[in-house]
Every structure is written in structure tokens, then in C-alpha cells.
Amino acid sequence: MAKDQLYLLRPGFMNAGLGPLYCSESASIEGVLSFFPTLRTSIDVHYIEFPRPRAVLAEALGEEHQSVPVLILARGRVLRKGTPEVRTARGKRFFSDENRIRQYLSLQYKLPAPG
């Protein structure tokens, strides 16, 4: 089976002349990855640049879904009971909310739950 695809903003970006900056929501997910390093073998993690358009996301989910972090579920992924509500676009299921991504990762990959 294909892997879930996680997209995070690469740290150190500039925005409106300010920076370098990092995305606090991406950093939260990065924290989960650092607590549970084996998770990186179960999902594919991609670091993308800040400027839009973010071609890979626009192509996968449409122009209106370029926010980061985003986790696109592997096709055919069977969801565990209690999985947060999943969004859909272009035939793909995804999470674009940092809290739901963390909840999903904990539940789907049998990690401790976020507190």
C-alpha cells in the first residue's frame, strides 16, 4: 500500500519582508515526528517552500487547498474507529488541521494520544 503523504513548510521562510520565520503548526507536527522517529518510515514527509502557488498541493487537492501542514491519506487507507473527520478534494482524503493530523497519526499508527 502507498504511504500517507505529509507536507510541512520548510523553516526559515520570509513573509512580507519579515523573517526568517517558521510555521508553528508545522513545528508541532515536526515535534511528533521527533518524539516517534519510526513514524518517518510509515509516512512520506515532504518539506515545501512558503510562496504560493504550492504546485504539489494545488495539483493534488486544487488551488483552494494549499494550506500547510496537510496530510493526504494513502489511497485505500482503512481508517481506525475514532478517526477525526476527513476532508476530500479531487478524489483524495486529507487533513489540513494540525490538531486533526496529530490525532490521526496517534490513532492510525498506534502512538500515545496528544494531551
Is the residue at 54 inside a domain? yes
Q: What is the DSSP letter of 108?
A: H
State the total domains in the chain. 1
Is the residue at 113 inside a domain? no
User: Average pLDDT, whole number, for the chain?
Assistant: 96
CA dihedral 12, 103, 115, 31 (to 10 degrees): -30
Is the residue at 12 inside a domain? yes
Instruction: Give the CA angle between residues 63, 71, 98 to the nearest 5°.
Output: 100
Please report the pLDDT score of residue 20 as a whole number.
Answer: 97
Q: What is the mean pLDDT of residues 70-81?
A: 97
Is the residue at 55 inside a domain? yes
Is the residue at 56 inside a domain? yes
Is the residue at 70 inside a domain? yes
Is the residue at 86 inside a domain? yes
pLDDT at 79 exceeding the cut of 90: yes
Per-residue pLDDT of 8-58, as tens digits, reads 999 999 999 999 999 999 999 999 999 999 999 999 999 999 999 999 999
Beta bridge partner(s), residue 46 = 7
Range of the domain at 47: 4-108
Please report the pLDDT score of residue 115 as a whole number.
Answer: 82
Element (H, E) at 18: strand 18-21
pTM exceeds 0.85: yes
